[in-house]
């Protein structure tokens, strides 16, 4: 099996995630897109772990998962607080701060 | 088949500053759980002060150490210790600013209860209460610990973890302002979403570099760049992605969009912490990545960094001119300063490294103290940050206006201030490194920034104060001490810079 397919899939997922961050309007979906990007990182790491013949990549994937989980905790708390005060999770509504 | 696992060599003494700050952070969490609410604030301030002072003492004792520890993941060397010491002092000053409570009628800059809905009746009652969300202290300590670790990471995975340890508490702290809570929450959301986006790029870069070198140790990546036949696409795309994450944290154009919004919306003491400490930590990491990991591929990344440095200086300086809010103006000025510091980074020489270290120290103290001055000018709704409200401040309070004018002069780089010596150090290194064109852009951008600093000074001293203008609050020793410290450092580094320049020169040697 050719490993480059996995790398291409990961790159595709990363791109979809990146586009999601830029195009989506709902803060929760923006955040989900970031998580998708981190998951594509995990796929890349595990694939490279196989190509380079080292275990580091698999261990790093666990680190990324833990960090992503911590990010969820903090992120959802912040999104909750802004949703409660504005009744909206749209990133376009939060526009008090500008030039 | 069972695999023999060898336990890595761990030397705890060289990482004592980090351990002390993280220990203080954990104790601070316990204080939240077990100390009665009435005495929590005082205990927390003591925990922070003792932890950071001990960390500074440990840094001083470790001076001169050059050691790779934790299986090569942490490098304790001159730049790391220099920046860790700076971070400990600035972090303590920022925490003292956070603890100030004699400016407001009530409990200072931090919200009483973050969970209460902004604008509700309970919120209006709590805004005047002396209650305060003391969780901000453990958050600040964890963030500072992450920053100190960030400057010492010799391994990209650890660097990612440190990046998150320093960022996650900051996202929360940005949303904890007592006044103008909607702005503050909005700043937190923006900072969080963009920060998470940038760290995903950082980690994708790490993954690609792992594929390139088979390891994420900066030393191994450096070794791999010297061998032929490896896949250079992975190297360049990986480095570019990594750079996106780091340049976001330092606030370089085109990744600066968050800076003005977050600086304006956050509680001002938290802004001071971000402006001074986050920038120092992020530059520490950027320096280590470029000098240690990619020193051999400089011809490949230098054009990109040139472009970013020029854009950062020009965009920061030009947009600062158009600002009408003091905090936003200082934010754009911090973007311009990022560009100036990048000139020293790009020089890629010991001179450039020592100049950058000196610049970070000088800039950190000046910017922290100028945000401290911003907290003093207030009207009935809290801080008066609109520039029109600062008109004629020099007549109401010559001392405060004069101090702020001095900090602006230091930020502009007028001779006999720390800013002049700092700019001279990085620009001299830039010219020696062959980046004359870059330095010319830097000097022109400095002139533009000097223009808008001068505009504020003219506004403060030569215009009539508005009738219903803000008043200047009398601070307690916390804020006054921080401003005095910033003033002393800005003057001393301008008049007698040699000891600190020597210190930075001696520190300017990475190990790997």
List of chain A residues whose C-beta atoms are within 8 Å of the C-beta of residue B322: 99
Angle between helices A27-52 and A4-23 (to 10 degrees): 160
Nearest CB to A21; choose among B192, B197, B265: B197
Dist. CA B231–CA B408, nearest whole Å: 48
The total number of residues shown for chain B amounts to: 512
Rounded CA separation B504/B356 (Å): 9
Mean pLDDT, to the nearest integer, of B275-291? 95
Q: Residue B68: enclosing H or E segment and its boundaries?
A: strand B67-69
With a CB cutoff of 8 Å and minimum separation 6, the contacts of B39 are none
| Partner-chain contact A48 B117, CB within 8 Å | no
Q: Does the model's pTM come out above 0.90?
A: yes
Chain mean pLDDT for chain A: 90
Find the CB nearest A27 among B161, B172, B193: B193
The alpha carbon of B60 is separated from its chain's Cα centroid by a whole number of angstroms, namely: 21
Flag whether residue A41 sits within 8 Å of chain B, measured between CB atoms.
yes
Residue B275: pLDDT over 60: yes
Query: Which ipTM did the prediction report?
Result: 0.96
> Looking at the partner chain, which of B119, B206, B264 has a beta carbon nearest the beta carbon of A97?
B264
Q: B495: how many CB neighbours lie within 10 A of its CB? A: 11
CA distance B61 to B44: 26
Of A17, A48, A94, the CB nearest to B210: A48
* CA angle, A37 then A38 then A40, to 5°: 65
Report d(CA B140, CA B134) in Å as an integer: 10
User: Is pLDDT at B6 greater than 80 in this prediction?
Assistant: no
- Smallest Cβ distance to B185: which of A30, A37, A82? A82
Alpha-carbon dihedral B346, B347, B348, B354, rounded to 10 degrees: -110
With cut-offs at 50, 70 and 90, classify the pLDDT of residue B106.
Answer: low
pLDDT attached to residue B197:
95
The closest alpha carbon to B407, from B317, B483, B465, B463, belongs to B483
Q: What is the pLDDT of residue B469?
A: 80
Cis peptide leading into B114, omega within 30 of 0? Answer: no
Do residues A90 and B208 lie in contact, with contact meaning Cβ atoms separated by under 8 Å? no
How sure is the predictor about B85, in pLDDT bands with cuts at 50, 70 and 90? very high
Angle B341-B345-B347 from CA coordinates, rounded to 5°: 120
Cβ pairs bridging A and B (under 8 Å): 124
pLDDT digits (tens, 9 = 90+) for B340-363: 999 999 988 999 999 999 999 999
Question: What whole-number percentage of chain B has pLDDT above 90?
Answer: 71
Contact between residue B115 and residue B328 where contact means Cβ atoms under 8 Å apart: no
Q: From the centroid of its chain, how far is CA B262? A: 13
Higher pLDDT, residue B141 or B181: B141
Integer Cα distance of B88 and B154 in angstroms: 20
Write out pLDDT tens, residues B447-485: 999 998 999 999 999 988 887 788 888 888 899 999 999
| Two structure tokens written together for B264 | 């304006």
Q: Higher-confidence residue: A98 or B181? A: B181
Longest dimension (CA), chain B: 83
Alpha-carbon distance of B151 to B510, in angstroms, equals: 11
User: What pLDDT was estimated at residue B231?
Assistant: 79
Q: Nearest CA to CA, how far is A88 from chain B (Å)?
A: 12
Q: How confident is the model at residue B108 (pLDDT cuts 50, 70, 90)?
A: confident
B residues 171..190 contacting A (CB < 8 A): 171-172, 175, 181-183, 185-190
**What's the pLDDT band for B216 if we cut at 50, 70, 90?**
very high
Cβ contact (<8 Å) for B193 and A30?
Answer: yes
Residue of B187, B200, B255 for testing the chain A interface, max A β-carbons within 10 Å: B200
Contact (CB<8Å) B204/A14:
yes
Q: Which residue has the tokens 């790490």?
A: B206
pLDDT-based confidence at residue B311 (cuts at 50, 70, 90): very high
Q: What is the mean pLDDT of residues A62-72?
A: 95
pLDDT band at B9 (very low <50, low <70, confident <90, very high): confident
Q: Kindly tell me if the per-residue pLDDT of B409 is higher than 90.
A: yes
Q: Does the distance separating the beta carbons of A74 and B171 come in below 8 Å?
A: yes
Which chain B residues have a beta carbon less than 8 Å from that of A86?
182
CA dist., res. B411 & res. B329, Å (int)? 12
Q: Residue A1: which pLDDT band, with cuts at 50, 70 and 90?
A: low
Nearest Cβ partner for A78 among B117, B175, B206: B175
In the predicted structure, residue A62 carries a pLDDT above the cut 80: yes
Continuous H helices in B181-231: 181-213, 218-224
Whether B499 has its CB under 8 Å from any CB of chain A: the answer is no
Please give the pLDDT value at position B119.
81
**Residues, chain A:** 99
pLDDT of B218 strictly over 70: yes
Instruction: Mutate one of A29, A31, A48, A61 to test the B interface: name it (highest B CB count within 10 A).
Output: A48
- For residue B118, list chain A residues with Cβ-Cβ distance below 8 A: 85
Q: What is the per-residue pLDDT across B230-256, written as a single tens digit (0 to 9) for each? A: 678 899 999 999 999 999 999 998 999
SS3 assignment, position B235: helix
pLDDT tens track for B110-163: 888 888 888 888 888 887 777 888 999 999 999 999 999 999 999 999 999 999
- Whether residue B255 lies within 8 A of chain A, CB to CB, comes out as no
For the ranges B1-10, B86-95, B171-180, which has the lowest average pLDDT?
B1-10
Q: What is the mean pLDDT of residues B210-221?
A: 92
Say how many C-beta atoms besides its own lie within 10 A of residue B496's C-beta: 11
- Which residue on chain A is closest to B214 by alpha carbon? A52
Domain coordinates of chain B in residue numbers? Answer: 13-507
Q: How far is A1 from chain B (nearest CA, A)?
A: 18
Mean pLDDT of chain B: 91
User: Could you tell me which of B16, B25, B132, B81 has the C-alpha nearest to residue B288?
Assistant: B81
d(CA B461, CA B392): 5
Q: Which of A12, A75, A89 to mutate to test the interface with B (most CBs of B within 10 A)?
A: A75
pLDDT at A70: 95
Whether B117 sits inside 8 A of A85 (CB atoms) is yes
Provide Rg for chain B, Cα atoms: 22
Residues of chain B contacting A91 with CB distance shorter than 8 Å: 189, 193
CA distance A98 to chain B (A): 7
With beta carbons under 8 A apart, name residues in chain A contacting B119.
85
Question: Best residue in A76, A97, A98, A99 to probe B by mutation, most B CBs within 10 Å?
Answer: A97
> Shortest CA distance to B15 belongs to which of B161, B137, B151?
B151
- Note the pLDDT of residue B2: 67
A5 to chain B, any CB pair closer than 8 A? The answer is no
Min Cα distance B174 → chain A (Å) is 10
Q: Which of B193, B203, B322 comes nearest A38 by C-beta?
A: B203
Decide if B28 contacts B44 (C-beta within 8 A).
yes
Of these ranges, B96-100, B163-167, B228-232, the one predicted with the greatest mean pLDDT is B163-167
Tell me if B62 sits within 8 A of B144, measured CB to CB: no
Give the model's pLDDT for residue A2: 83
- The whole-angstrom separation of Cα A86 and Cα B123 is 15
Measured between CA atoms, the residue of chain A closest to residue B331 is A99
pLDDT in tens, B288-300: 999 999 988 888 8
- For position B431, what pLDDT does the model report? 94
Nearest-CA distance from A82 to chain B in Å? 6
DSSP B121-178: HHHHHHHTSS---TTHHHHHHHHHHHHHHHTTB-BHHHHHHHHHHHHHHHHHHHT-BS
Q: If we measure between CA atoms, which residue out of A23, A42, A21, A15 comes closest to residue A33?
A: A21
Among A48, A75, A38, which residue's Cα sits nearest to residue B204? A38
Among A21, A56, A71, whose Cβ lies nearest the Cβ of B216? A56
Quick one: pLDDT band at residue B422, thresholds 50, 70, 90? Answer: very high
What's the rounded mean pLDDT across residues B274-294?
A: 94
Tokens standing for residue A4: 């480059």
- Torsions phi, psi of B67, nearest 5? -150, 140
- pLDDT category at B105 given cuts 50, 70, 90 is low
Cα separation of B385 and B221, whole Å?
47
Top pLDDT among B447 and B2 is at B447
The pLDDT, as a whole number, for residue A3 is 84
């Amino acid at each position: 099996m050719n490993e480059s397919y996995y790398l291409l899939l990961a790159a595709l997922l990363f791109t979809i995630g990146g586009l999601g961050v830029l195009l989506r309007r709902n803060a929760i979906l923006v955040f989900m897109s970031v998580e998708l990007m981190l998951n594509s990182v995990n796929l890349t790491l595990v694939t490279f772990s196989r190509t380079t013949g080292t275990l580091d990549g698999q261990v790093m994937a666990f680190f990324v998962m833990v960090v992503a989980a911590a990010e969820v905790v903090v992120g959802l708390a912040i999104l909750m607080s802004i949703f409660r005060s504005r009744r909206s999770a749209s990133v376009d509504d939060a526009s008090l701060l500008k030039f | 088949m069972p695999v023999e696992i060898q336990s890595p060599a761990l030397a705890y003494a060289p990482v004592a500053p980090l351990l002390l700050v993280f220990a203080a952070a954990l104790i601070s969490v316990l204080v939240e759980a077990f100390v009665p609410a009435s005495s929590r604030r005082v205990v927390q301030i003591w925990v922070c002060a003792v932890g950071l002072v001990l960390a500074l003492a440990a840094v001083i004792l470790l001076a001169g150490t050059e050691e790779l520890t934790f299986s090569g993941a942490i490098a304790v060397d001159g730049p790391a210790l220099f920046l860790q010491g700076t971070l400990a002092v600035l972090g303590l000053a920022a925490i003292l600013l956070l603890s100030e409570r004699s400016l407001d009628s009530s409990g200072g800059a931090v919200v009483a209860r973050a969970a209460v809905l902004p604008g509700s009746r309970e919120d209006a009652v709590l805004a005047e209460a002396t209650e305060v969300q003391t969780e901000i202290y453990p958050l600040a300590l964890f963030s500072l610990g992450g920053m100190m670790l960030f400057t010492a990471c010799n391994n990209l995975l650890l660097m990612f973890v440190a990046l998150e340890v320093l960022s996650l508490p900051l996202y929360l702290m940005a949303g904890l302002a007592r006044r103008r809570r909607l702005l503050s929450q909005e700043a937190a959301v923006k900072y969080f979403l963009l920060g998470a986006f940038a760290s995903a790029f950082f980690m994708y870069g790490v993954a690609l570099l792992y594929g390139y070198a088979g390891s994420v140790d900066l030393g191994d990546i450096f070794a791999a760049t010297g061998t032929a036949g490896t896949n250079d696409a992975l190297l360049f795309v990986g480095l570019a992605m990594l750079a996106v994450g780091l340049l976001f944290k330092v606030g370089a154009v085109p990744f600066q969009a968050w800076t003005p919004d977050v600086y304006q919306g956050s509680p001002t003491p938290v802004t001071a912490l971000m402006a001074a400490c986050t920038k120092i930590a992020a530059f520490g990491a950027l320096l280590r990545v470029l000098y240690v990991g990619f020193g051999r591929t400089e011809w490949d990344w230098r054009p990109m960094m040139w472009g970013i440095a020029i854009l950062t200086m020009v965009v920061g300086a030009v947009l600062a001119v158009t600002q009408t809010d003091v905090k936003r103006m200082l934010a754009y000025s911090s973007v311009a300063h990022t560009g100036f510091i990048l000139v020293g980074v790009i020089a890629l020489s010991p001179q450039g490294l020592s100049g950058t270290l000196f610049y970070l120290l000088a800039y950190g103290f000046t910017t922290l103290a100028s945000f401290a001055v911003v907290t003093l000018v207030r009207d009935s709704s809290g801080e008066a940050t609109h520039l029109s409200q600062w008109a004629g401040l020099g007549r109401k309070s010559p001392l405060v206006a004069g101090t702020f004018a001095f900090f602006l002069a230091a930020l502009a780089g007028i001779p006999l201030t720390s800013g002049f010596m700092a700019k001279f150090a990085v620009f001299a290194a830039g010219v020696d490194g062959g980046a004359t064109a870059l330095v010319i852009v830097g000097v022109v951008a400095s002139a533009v920034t000097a223009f808008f600093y001068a505009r504020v000074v003219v506004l403060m001293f030569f215009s009539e104060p508005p009738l219903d203008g803000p008043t200047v609050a009398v601070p307690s020793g916390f804020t006054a001490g921080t401003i005095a410290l910033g003033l002393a450092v800005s003057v001393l580094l301008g008049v007698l810079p040699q000891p600190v320049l020597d210190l930075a020169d001696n520190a300017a040697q990475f190990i790997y």
